[in-house]
Amino acid sequence: MNNDKTEPDALDAYSAIVTSVAAQLTPRVAALTIRSRAGEAAGSAVVLTGESHLITNSHVVSGGDHGTAEFADGTVAGFAVVGRDPLSDIAVIRADREIPAPPDYGDADHLLVGSLVVAVGNPLGLAGTVTAGVVSALGRSMPARTRTAARLIEDVIQTDAALNPGNSGGALADSHGRIVGISTAVAGFGLGLAVPINATTHRIIHALMHDGRVRRAYLGLVTTPAPLNPGQAERFGQRTAMRIVEVVEDSPAARSGLKPADLVLAVDGAPLGSAQSLQKRLFSDAIGQQMEVTVLRNGALVDVIAVPAELSD
């Protein structure tokens, strides 16, 4: 009898969470129509500020600078693109009239595998669609590129909440209705990916709102994660580092003396265990500034001074 009662109670609690999040977010997620010379494209966007800004994916608005945003209450607003950053797949747009108030934004760094998440978007032209699932993996990476540069979008959230074309730019929320990600891609049957909302994303959003673009520093390294052996791990107090696979010719890294096969342990004294932890340091404030790179080369510690340049568009 207890088991029979527990199952409906659990389902009722799950349903209550999903319906509560849906009620909070559906009015705050817009269906976008983007006009360009190639025709019209569709996607989703989430209200970002009380000044009519919304956040969406860069690829959603890559074809044009203007469009319309339609909300669940029937409100239709024109919008213009404020700034877009293909290397994070984030864009900020601004509506030309008053729109619903923004939802609360959380921190994806606090998510756990198995955490309940709710996706709200406009897949296949169906406005206000809500799906629910769990975080199925964290720390995924997804390639992004422009005509001249490529990088990994860091700490991507993988979820089994159903995502379909048109969900891109929509909300991924936690059980409290806080936005923790912006849905960006369908990774395969039953899998979706979302760009996380965290400190790095807020930095990108700030740059887009104030400058219309994100300035990044450039070293010219191709690296891959490499485990340290037990002795090295004990000696340096970390289990992983980044092995240099390639140094781009005539890049800041090449001029500094960094070499393929070097094992990068730290930058400016901070341990480096992933490509993401290096990318987080390569924003505008690093351009032209000396950066101390500590590497393990043929068993010896070597400190190299590199001066990042600005990454061209």
Catalytic residue chosen out of the listed positions 44, 52, 58, 59: 59
Q: Is 59 a catalytic residue?
A: yes
Any bridge partners for residue 158, and if so which? 137, 193
Q: Is 89 a catalytic residue?
A: yes
Q: Is 66 a catalytic residue?
A: no
Catalytic residue chosen out of the listed positions 58, 85, 88, 89: 89
Q: What are phi and psi of 14, to 5 degrees?
A: -60, -45
Token look-up 């500034």 returns 289
Q: Give me 287's structure tokens.
A: 């351009």
Separation between Cα atoms, residue 129 and residue 96, nearest integer Å: 25
Cα 7–chain centre separation: 36
Confirm if 45 and 58 have CB atoms less than 8 A apart. no
Catalytic residue chosen out of the listed positions 44, 52, 136, 168: 168
Terminal Cα distance for the chain, rounded: 65
Burial tier of 215 (Cβ tally within 10 Å: 0-12, 13-18, 19+): middle
Q: Which residues are catalytic?
A: 59, 89, 168
